[in-house]
Amino acid sequence: MKNFWKELKKPFFVLAPMADVTDASFRRIIAKYSRHGEEGGGPDVFWTEFVAADGLMSRGVEALKYDLMYTEGERPIVAQLFGSNPEKMEGAARLCAELGFDGIDINMGCPDKSIEKQGAGACMIKHPEVAREIIRAAKRGAPNLPISVKTRIGYNTNEIDTWIPQLLAEDIAALTIHARTRKEMSKVPARWEHVKEVVEIRNKLGKDTLILGNGDVLDIADAKKKVAETGCDGVMLGRAIFGNPWLFDQNKGEVSTEEKLRVLVEHTQLYEELLGQIKSFSIMKKHYKAYVNGFPEAKELREKLMLCENAAEVESIVEAFLTK
């Protein structure tokens, strides 16, 4: 088995999978402007948005494959799956291996009720025996790929002492810990002392699993601080990427307003080109609030952009703003 995780220089900094955010278009923009693969650039690992294993084994597979689009410039790239049916997880993992992914990650932390109704996401925390079978199924489907897991510290309360050893017992390649419970969602500050506890459990059990921390990371400097405090191997950054595809470029200085707005246009055009036929244009608009703030007349510009219905309108409005 080729395990890219073992080749990463520590500490490493990776991009969180976020539904309707880190899609194929945004990942390409991030790879370009964070100088992925270059010295001081990143992310060190990309994730796809999470995809239903059940869906990949259904007649809806062709539409879902859009969520699994990637370019060679995003490697190493991990396909994130969710599901509670071992047979379908095995088949979905096999498909991801055929599509050329570098690894597979299983989401065992998503608090979305529709995901939990399927017995997946954070619901796995309540059913560790099922979680372990799902990991084994992914390994059967993709025996040559490293399998990792992303989860939380517990469901209603901190369950690290019981939940984490169950996952580590399956010898997964990497484990990302979102430092909150499912009940807490993202309503309370992430408690990184629990990431340190997970590292200690891993060490006590003598496992090789890499531990990544996740939750409320502001930037790479903050990520490095959290590595020093917890001893984790890497950090996953999520919400900080909004409006900031330069996030992982450790050599980047301040970004000008014009640069931000031109990348906003480029991002919008790429979204429309790659996903415009199958996804709503309104999904793209969640990025505008982040791109367009902190400069004079940002509010007025943002209001105009929120009324746009295609990339051409966005480009026209941004050009008019920049040339007035």
**Interhelix angle for 311-323 vs 298-305, to 10°?**
160
Q: What string of pLDDT tens digits covers the 324 residues of the chain?
A: 689 999 999 999 999 999 999 999 999 999 999 999 999 999 999 999 999 999 999 987 888 888 999 999 999 999 999 999 999 999 999 999 999 999 999 999 999 899 999 999 999 999 999 999 999 999 999 999 999 999 999 999 999 999 999 999 999 999 999 999 998 887 788 999 999 999 999 999 999 999 999 999 999 999 999 999 999 999 999 999 999 999 999 999 899 999 999 999 999 999 999 999 999 999 999 999 999 999 999 999 999 999 999 999 999 999 999 997
Contacts 24+ apart (CB under 8 A), 260-264: 260/291, 260/292, 261/291, 261/292, 261/318, 261/321, 261/322, 262/318, 262/322, 263/29, 263/33, 263/291, 264/288, 264/291, 264/292, 264/314, 264/318
Closest residue by Cα to residue 45 from 224, 231, 174: 174
- Res 287: pLDDT: 96
Q: b/e for 71-94, b at 16 or more Cβ within 10 A?
A: eeebbbbbbbbbbbbbebbbbbbb
- Res 1: pLDDT: 67
Judge whether 232 counts as a catalytic residue.
Answer: no
Is there a contact between 259 and 227 (Cβ–Cβ < 8 Å)? no
Closest residue by Cα to residue 180 from 167, 194, 190: 190
Query: What residue type is assigned to position 308 of the chain?
Result: C
Q: Does domain 4-241 have CATH number 3.20.20.70?
A: yes
**Where in the chain does DSSP place strands (E)?**
12-15, 46-52, 77-82, 103-108, 147-154, 174-181, 210-214, 234-237
Residue 118 and residue 251: Cα distance in Å, rounded? 43
Residue 312 and residue 217: Cα distance in Å, rounded? 34
- What is the edge-to-edge ordering of all strands in the sheet holding 147-154? 12-15, 234-237, 210-214, 174-181, 147-154, 103-108, 77-82, 46-52
- Res 133: pLDDT: 98
Q: Please tell me the pTM assigned to this model.
A: 0.96
Provide φ and ψ at 292, rounded to 5°.
Answer: -105, 80
Query: Which one from 110, 123, 232, 308 is the annotated catalytic residue?
Result: 110
Provide φ and ψ at 53, rounded to 5°.
Answer: -60, -40
User: What is the SS3 assignment for 63?
Assistant: helix
H or E element: which one contains 167? Answer: helix 160-168
Domain ranges for the chain: 4-241, 257-323
